[in-house]
Amino acid sequence: MRILAPQWTHLADGYRALQALQLKLEAEFGRAVQIGHRQRHRKELSEWQKKRRTFFILLALSILSVVALCVAAFVFREAACLLAYWTFVVALILITTAVALRAYIVEAVSGRPTMERPQPTADLLARRWWESLAPAEMMVEKGGDLGELDFLRRLSDRLSDEYLAVRGLLTSARQTQDTDVLVVGPSGVWIFEVKHWRGRIVKQEGVWKQIQSRRGKMGKKQVEERIVEQAPDDQWLCQAQEIVKTLQRRLPEGALPADLDPADLIQGGVVFTHPGAVIEREKIQGHTASYGPPGAWIERIARAGPRPGLTLETRLRILDALFEWAALNERGVVKVVSAEAEAERLYHLTAEELRGYVAELVK
């Protein structure tokens, strides 16, 4: 799963521009990189052949020296013991040298360099593009942020890169209402209200409660009941409605298949992320949104089938509509950045690196 920062605009246009720029890079540098790889291969092959010749010459000289000592020991029999001693010393030196230079010898004998399959260009779409769209860092400002970050981490571990996520996206004109975690994938738009609550969680008579057991100063068990003023299921429902309205108003004509309404895309609910949370389902009555622990939600997303027509470009257009609406209501707070301009920047940066790479290959 890829996590995006919410300050980007024109994501779909930037993605389309980057595809064209990728082809441009391959047209400009593909031939040069191939020639550079061939030249480097010829250079490496020539160096290997020199190393190989040197090795066989030294091997021949070593064998001749041992043979010469053996012949001398036979001819000069009065000094045979001395010559045999030196023959043994020379052979020992040669064997020790061969063991010490084993890697060099193996490379000289069978290390013929192979022609690498050249990669014409750096793949902008595989890594750089998405890394540039990711948030610089995940801020933790309150206790609930820990739950959001943990949920995002677990989603990233389970879901493929087909899924795009954003944290803390403003989805209402009221700046106090944001969507904790939003995931756009092949199966639709998943909205999550994340609650990092501990203890027993119930909803009775329309009121959500956290019930925790504590030990007092005297060791006596005390039950603390906390009433939640803002119902998480109602918060989720409000965010879902706002997102549907934004998509209906701001998605370009034809961005979605004709038979697909934005309201049909919305899924998700409330996530209770704290490991000490106990969801008492039999005591949760009249909830207006689905709820559950992180693991159950992650499996549900992973099992959901893709919707026809919900391509990556369409998913980016959905995020464009939501990001632009958020930017309108956060003027002066969030610095808006164009993804099209980022695509151009990445192209020029990669082109400069490729020039240096080609120059290194042919020098």
Residue type, 292: G
* Burial environment of residue 281 by CB neighbours within 10 A (0 to 12, 13 to 18, 19 or more): exposed
Residue 294 burial (10 A CB sphere; 0-12, 13-18, 19+): buried
Cβ contact 347:17 at 8 Å: no
CA distance 251 to 187: 18
User: CA torsion 339→343→345→346, rounded to 10°?
Assistant: 130
Segments forming the whole domain that contains residue 271: 2-27+122-358
Tally of CB atoms within 10 A around 173: 10
Same domain for 23 and 79? Answer: no
One domain for residues 262 and 344: yes
Is 61 found in the same domain as 162?
no
Domain count, the chain: 2
Paired sense of beta strands 188-195 and 266-272, if any: parallel
Q: What is the pLDDT along the chain (363 residues), one digit of tens a residue?
A: 999 998 899 999 999 998 898 888 878 776 666 666 677 777 777 887 787 788 778 778 777 777 776 777 667 666 667 667 667 777 777 777 777 777 777 777 777 777 665 554 567 777 788 989 998 776 665 666 889 999 999 999 999 999 999 998 988 776 567 899 999 999 999 999 999 998 999 998 889 999 887 766 666 677 788 888 889 999 999 999 999 999 999 998 888 888 888 999 999 999 999 999 999 999 998 899 999 999 999 999 999 999 988 999 999 999 999 999 888 877 666 678 899 999 999 888 888 887 887 777 666
Q: Does the global pTM surpass 0.85?
A: no
Residues 77 and 47 in one domain: yes
Q: What is the pLDDT of residue 305?
A: 92
Same domain, yes or no, for 222 and 279? yes
Domain identity same for 309 and 239: yes
How high is the pLDDT of residue 98?
72
Same domain, 22 and 56: no
C-alpha–C-alpha distance, residues 79 and 49, integer Å: 41
Can you give the length of the chain in residues? Answer: 363
Q: Are 197 and 210 in contact (CB under 8 A)?
A: yes
Supply the pLDDT for residue 57.
82
pLDDT value at residue 355: 80
Report the C-alpha gap between 330 and 324 in whole angstroms.
10
Does residue 115 lie in a domain region? Answer: no
CA separation for the pair 233, 222 (Å, rounded): 28
Q: Indicate if 153 and 206 belong to the same structural domain.
A: yes
